[in-house]
A and B are shown apart, each in its own frame.
Chain A
Amino acid sequence: AQKVTQAQTEISVVEKEDVTLDCVYETRDTTYYLFWYKQPPSGELVFLIRRNSFDEQNEISGRYSWNFQKSTSSFNFTITASQVVDSAVYFCALSDENRDDKIIFGKGTRLHILP
């Protein structure tokens, strides 16, 4: 069955430290899509990245980077030199096997950046 596992429920780091959020997924599809979303305390989910299963290149966007490894079914997210504004809940998500208009969210990782 399809699944997205974010094993880290909550993480706290001191500002300027690097932090990696783990995401492991399960799917029978050969073509699938992975996503990361950020949900700050205000509540709005902010789209961060979409990656398709054929593109294993790592992605960097400013202080954010993503490591996609099909061999381990993981799509991990690293924040470099963390800032207090990075405090949020981060969700990893996976496209549904049966419907292209649906995504399956992990349970989320709550990240606290301490000043």
Chain B
Amino acid sequence: DTEVTQTPKHLVMGMTNKKSLKCEQHMGHRAMYWYKQKAKKPPELMFVYSYEKLSINESVPSRFSPECPNSSLLNLHLHALQPEDSALYLCASSQGTGGPTYEQYFGPGTRLTVT
């Protein structure tokens, strides 16, 4: 089973709202990722968690706050977003880090609109 699930599929939020994106994998993967993708662009890495610890933060604004409650779950907490943050947010997981670079398996994404 190579499935990564994400909820919700679509989210519309105002600039003063607080919301969370959720991601789950049951492949026993030890690395999880958040990407942001704007239309007609490649995915842009935001955060990486390796063995439940934050290993990469690609200088993402603090209005995005990641959380990894356990090895299967990854959340992205959103607060005071701007309209330019509207994008497809993709979660991914991979076997692990600290050695070869493994393929990442992606979820279907959350399409976020900030009004």
Contacts and interface: CB of A to CB of B under 8 A. Distances in A.
A100 B101 contact: yes
Interface in B58-115: 88, 90, 92, 94, 97-109, 111
Nearest to B42: A105
B105 to A, nearest CB: 6
Interface in A58-84: none
A47 B105 contact: yes
Interface residues on B, range: 20 to 34
Interface string B30-45: 0100000000111101
Contacts of B40: 110
B103 A35 contact: yes
A102 interface: yes
Interface of A: 32-33, 35, 37, 42-47, 50, 52, 91, 95-96, 99-103, 105-108, 110
B31 A101 contact: yes
B55 interface: yes
Contacts of B98: 100
Contact of B48 (A32, A37, A95, A101): A101
B101 A103 contact: yes
A100 B40 CA distance: 26
A110 B40 CA distance: 9
Nearest to A37: B106
Contacts of B107: 44
A44 B106 contact: yes
Contacts of A105: 42-43
B42 A47 contact: no
